[in-house]
Amino acid sequence: AKGMGRNNVQFYLDELQAGAEEKLRLEDGLRIAIVNREFELHFQPQVNGQGRMIGAEALLRWRHPEMGNIPPSIFIPVAEEAGIIHSIGSWVLDDAVAKLASWLNTDVPYAGHLSVNVSAWQFARVDFVEQVRKVLEKYQVSPERLMLEVTETALLYDFDQTVSKLRELRELGVQISLDDFGTGYSSLAYLKDLPLDELKIDKAFIDEMLLNQDHTLVESIMAIGGCMKLKVIAEGVESAMQRDALLNLGCTQFQGYLFSKPLPEIEFLKWVTLQQS
Ligand code: C2E
Ligand code: CA
Ligand code: CA
Ligand code: CA
């Protein structure tokens, strides 16, 4: 038994070591990923009740030269912890708006907005609004075409700052979506004072509708959205049953594998062209 214990400890130490080493490796990789052009945005369509496109969400992809594709759920937290998220976030915003501008300036039948994820750390920067304004000016994109997806964590950190930043973004004409809505701890008392355009229902609640036949949470979110006069979009919609249940609850905006996975630009534009014809 003594030997076993020792082995377990050794195993634990090895795991810990690997974890720390891997993290350092990711950090080092992330620091040079922009210059090495290893990042790419994929685009996932958002549709209405008739299945017509209303916009899309830009999702970041990273291909490490040796480790291959690393999911954002792994590398975004590492980038945040290492303080590299600012340069990555700036790259994402710039590339997303550049792509949007190029679609709008050609004969791609692109409809609606483009949503871009903003990390809490990015949003916290004093010059964030200025950064958004500059990038819109740089590519001459009309602000209503840009939607920023922020999480509750990002908004509740410094409430007064948040409210004034959201107001400034709103004045610019940029739209704001509250991502992963319902998974945080924000109180409705706070929410009602936030100038927002959209609530995005987290996939967990959409899954719940099928798994446990439980519609209560989605129903509540729809009610909140109604009271606050916000658009509501459901993410992670994978089946027609989910879409129909959502439609029954009054939700008419969807994103999920049922309609399309996130696609590289070329395939995304094919999807756009096909469904608009
Ligand atoms: P998120 O913002 O909640 O994005 C939705 C995630 O759900 C995406 O995962 C998307 O590919 C996935 N998804 C969409 N529809 C379905 C579906 O029907 N079924 C399933 N199973 N999944 C679906 P992804 O691309 O791996 O991104 C994960 C998270 O990484 C995002 O969650 C977001 O928090 C973060 N992220 C991605 N791109 C960026 C970025 O550019 N900046 C920042 N700060 N975070 C990003
Ligand atoms: Ca998102
Ligand atoms: Ca989300
Ligand atoms: Ca989510």
Q: Which of 30, 87, 117 to mutate to test the pocket of ligand 1 (most atoms within 8 A of CB)?
A: 117
* CB of 55 closer than 8 Å to CB of 113: yes
pLDDT at 18: 62
What's the pLDDT score for residue 239? Answer: 96
Mean pLDDT of 47-69: 95
Q: Which of 38, 59, 100 to mutate to test the pocket of ligand 1 (most atoms within 8 A of CB)?
A: 59
| Residue 200 Cα to chain centre, angstroms | 10
Residues with CB under 5 A from ligand 4 (ion): 180, 202
Where residue 2 falls among pLDDT bands split at 50, 70, 90? very low
Inter-residue long-range contacts of 271-276, CB under 8 Å, 24+ positions, other chains counted? 271/45, 272/45, 272/53, 272/103, 272/108, 272/109, 272/110, 272/111, 273/108, 273/109, 275/45, 275/51, 275/52, 275/53, 276/53, 276/109, 276/111
Alpha-carbon gap, residue 176 to 94, rounded angstroms? 17
Tokens of 57: 């969400």
For residue 68, the SS3 value is: strand
The band of 153, judged by pLDDT with boundaries at 50, 70 and 90, is confident
The per-residue pLDDT for range 65-83, each reduced to its tens digit, is: 988 999 999 999 999 999 9
More confident residue, 9 or 77: 77
Instruction: Tell how far the Cα of 187 is from the centroid of ligand 4, in angstroms.
Output: 19
For ligand 4, the distance from its centroid to the CA atom of residue 203, given in whole angstroms, is: 6
- Tell me the ipTM for this assembly: 0.98
CA angle 228, 59, 267 (to 5 degrees): 115
Nearest alpha carbon to residue 85 among 60, 113, 64: 60
Examine the pLDDT at 5 and tell me if it is beyond 60. Answer: no
